[in-house]
Amino acid sequence: MVRRILIVPDKFKGAATASQVAGALESFLRRRSVFGRDEERLVIDKLPMADGGDGSLEVLRDSLGGSSETLEIGCEDALGRPVKAPVLFWEDSAFIEMAKVCGLAMLSREERNPEKTTTRGLGHVMLDAARRGVRRIVLGIGGSATNDAGAGMLETCPPSALEGVDLLVACDVDNPLLGPDGATMVYGPQKGADEAMLERLERRMEEFARLHSLDVSLPGGGAAGGIGATLHCLYGAQLTPGWRLFGDMASLEERIAAADLVLTAEGRADGQSLNGKLLSGISSLCLKHKKELKVVCGKNFIQPRLWRQAGIRDILALHEVEPDTRKSIEGTVRLLSGEGLLLAGCDEAGRGCLAGPVFAAAVILPEDFYDSRLNDSKQMSEADRNALRERIEKEAIAWKVVAVSPEEIDRINILNASIEGMQRALDGLEVRPQAVFVDGNRFKPYFSPDGTKIPYHCVVHGDAKVAAIAAASVLAKTHRDEYMRRIARDYPQYGWDRNMAYPTPEHREAIRRYGITPHHRRSYALLPEGENLLF
């Protein structure tokens, strides 16, 4: 079996580049997955991505390799101060990242004021690139500090100065220019505007749009403080989703189609993430190709209903493990890699059996634990299961196995009994885990015995993917098999030492002939439909 995983992350702004995020996530998978060290069975494809905002230049430069050149061009920042901005040149094209010219991250919080910031510097850089003879300028306009709709750019680089140059704009949002969903009202606050300033900025934007006959309903026109509308309407620029631009250059869709799992990441997952940004693009491609998509983020503000509608299987937030925001940001790479993380895996055995308890296990493995035999316990030979049980119980940081009786299964049903068993196993661990991965798709919020809420994530077929879950699967099954062989001595006619009380023809024929025992689950259909037992 070969499992192919595509890691296609954005940056964690101010904490880690997209390349660092990709490397950290690969490290996590190598440490924690069943086939982690086997590069032939676990094939990881890393594709750091961007959507036109901060860090886009580095991502594009890496994808172009040695065929590009970066030059520092003198210009002014959003407050008119002299700076040098890196511009990427290749063939007959230039890429300008607006965030490196008049970006929000270049200003202190006290300096943020969209009534004063300007796009004049961006015009300077565009003009310089055109004078170097390029035939195409690609602009990444995310992360700006401005809200002037490109008025400053018009002063320093009028459309006539770019005659014969094609403009392609990588846009990371699809907001219109005006209104409650427009440039000012949505993005003005993060650029330093209070409520009074927002009203003034909106009126100024309305007047600018009227004066220059801008399309105020253009999707993406509100990007970068309204510069999207000006670039399209006055410069003839083509607006394209940033993720699509970079994705096309890196064969993103083809790589998604070839993967079994797609793993993306960004610092903050919120409503904007599903509104034209990288996450929305990746989710649309995963839906198209019916691929499993999971998201890792610093903090998650997307409601489960919305991310499930987008085709996302799960969102894992670092904030769940490290609630202190400062520590989470400073430790982003370490947290993403899972270094030092006490991760418990949970699984059960015997859920579909007609008799006997359901056994549940919780295991915390060392980070460097690896065994090529480790897998879903049902796919392993009995000899391998028993050998692995011995090693797991000896080397695990902590482990616990519990049984939930047939009487309790009948009273609360098998799903609740399985979840209850796994939570009791977690309670019995001598070390408190920081996170829990559970086999299957159902679990309940878990609080440790000291009252701490522990984040959990369900993994479908997790016993064949996550090492800690696979280890729990081995312990649950070997302990249950051992128990069933023991009680089979008292009821040899049922063949439990062979069928482990699963609904085999042998077991059901014995029920038909001999009736039931105190070990049978009376809430189950012990005989095929149409046959009844009198209890």
The pLDDT tens digits of the residues spanning 380-422 come to 999 999 999 999 999 999 999 999 999 999 999 999 999 999 9
d(CA 271, CA 181): 12
Q: What is the model's pLDDT at position 491?
A: 97
Helix (H, G, I), strand (E, B) or coil at 413: coil
Is the confidence at residue 529, as pLDDT, over 70?
no
Encode 169-228 in three state secondary structure: EEECCCCCCCCCCCHHHHHCHHHCCCHHHHHHHHHHHHHHHHHHCCCCCCCCCCHHHHHH
DSSP 119-154: SHHHHHHHHHHHHTT-SEEEEE-TTB---STTHHHH
Q: Which part of the chain is CATH 3.40.50.10350? A: 3-49+250-337
Confidence band, pLDDT 50/70/90 cuts, at residue 114: very high
d(CA 432, CA 420): 17
Q: What is the model's pLDDT at position 1?
A: 76
> What number does CATH give the domain 56-242?
3.90.1510.10
* Per-residue pLDDT tens digits for 115-157: 999 999 999 999 999 999 999 999 999 899 999 999 999 999 9
Which residues have a Cβ under 8 Å from the Cβ of 96 and sit 6 or more positions away?
Answer: 85, 87, 122, 125, 126, 129, 137, 138, 139, 140
d(CA 192, CA 110): 8
Q: What are phi and psi of 159, to 5 degrees?
A: -50, -35
Tokens of 364: 């915390």
The predicted model gives 172-186 an average pLDDT of 92
The predicted model gives 298-303 an average pLDDT of 95
For 431-458, b/e burial (b = at least 16 CB within 10 A) is ebbbbbbbbbeebeebeeeeeeebbbbb
DSSP class of residue 357? P
Is the confidence at residue 65, as pLDDT, over 80?
no
The predicted model gives 12-33 an average pLDDT of 94
Q: What is the model's pLDDT at position 462?
A: 95
Provide the CATH topology of domain 343-485. Nucleotidyltransferase; domain 5 (3.30.420)
Is the confidence at residue 423, as pLDDT, over 80?
yes
Q: Which part of the chain is CATH 3.30.420.10? A: 343-485
Q: What is the model's pLDDT at position 531?
A: 63
Q: Which part of the chain is CATH 3.90.1510.10? A: 56-242
Is the confidence at residue 52, as pLDDT, over 90?
no
For 129, 363, 400, 401, 469, the CA distances from 389, given in Å and listed in that order, are: 65, 11, 12, 12, 13
Confidence band, pLDDT 50/70/90 cuts, at residue 36: confident
* Per-residue pLDDT tens digits for 471-524: 999 999 999 999 999 999 999 999 999 999 999 999 999 999 999 999 999 999
For 219, 438, 507, the CA distances from 431, given in Å and listed in that order, are: 52, 17, 40
Is the confidence at residue 185, as pLDDT, over 70?
yes
Helical (H) or strand (E) element with 408:
helix 406-412
Q: What is the model's pLDDT at position 484?
A: 98
Helix (H, G, I), strand (E, B) or coil at 165: coil
Is the confidence at residue 535, as pLDDT, over 50?
no
Output the CA torsion sign for 524, 526, 532, 533.
negative
Q: What is the model's pLDDT at position 532?
A: 60
The predicted model gives 277-296 an average pLDDT of 94
d(CA 469, CA 439): 6
d(CA 535, CA 516): 8
pLDDT over 70, % of the chain: 99
Beta bridge partners of 4: 43
Architecture of domain 3-49+250-337: 3-Layer(aba) Sandwich (3.40)
d(CA 131, CA 156): 13
* Per-residue pLDDT tens digits for 221-262: 999 999 999 999 999 999 998 888 889 888 999 999 999 999
Helix (H, G, I), strand (E, B) or coil at 346: strand
Is the confidence at residue 192, as pLDDT, over 50?
yes
Q: What is the model's pLDDT at position 376?
A: 84
Indicate yes or no: pTM above 0.75. Answer: yes
